[in-house]
Amino acid sequence: MNINFFEILLISISLAMDAFSVSISKGITMNYKIKRNSLILATSFSIFQMIMPLIGYYLGNLLNIYLLKYNYLIVFFILTIIGINMIKESYSNNIINSKLSLKELLLLSIATSIDALSIGITFSLFKINLLLTISIIGIITFILSFIGVNLGKILNNKFNNINILGGIILIILGLKNLLELF
């Protein structure tokens, strides 16, 4: 089973939606050093979005013998659960402080990249160029996070429903994978 370039782009954009949403929220609350903080936030988010699928990929390879028999169902369930969680998260009201501390940066980076860990496990079931895939994920996350902080500053209001689009895309990709059984 292969994942094509277009699917990698869609997955990358979907994974970056959490980071994009948080970046918009941070941009709304930031009143100082916007360019510097947008670079720091985008870099941190993209690094974690690249590391998590890598960890998931190798974890998935350790379990691959057991997962291969059920890979279509596993991919469907993982993508669907992640998609549903992203949609549910879009309705939560998270208040983010205006200061960008190291602790907050790390927590936000981990929180926005947990989905990428699961995707990495899913990637272990496919024939993919892992370096290219995680690079695309990182680049897209960086770009969207950087834009998000600056867009948040421009919008100056709450904008949390962008996760809905990312969740829907992941659910559709999960359904597409499930339909390959037939």
Query: Which pLDDT band holds residue 64 (cuts at 50, 70, 90)?
Result: low
Alpha helices in 30-129 (DSSP H): 34-62, 64-67, 71-89, 102-123
Q: What confidence tens digit (pLDDT) does each residue in 16-26 have?
A: 998 898 888 77
Please report the pLDDT score of residue 114 as a whole number. Answer: 81
Q: Which two tokens stand for residue 138?
A: 């990182």
Residue extents of the structural domains in the chain: 5-179
Who wins on pLDDT, 80 or 55?
55
**3 state DSSP class of 17:** helix
Q: What confidence tens digit (pLDDT) does each residue in 100-127 have?
A: 778 888 888 888 888 888 889 888 888 8
Query: Which pLDDT band holds residue 97 (cuts at 50, 70, 90)?
Result: very low
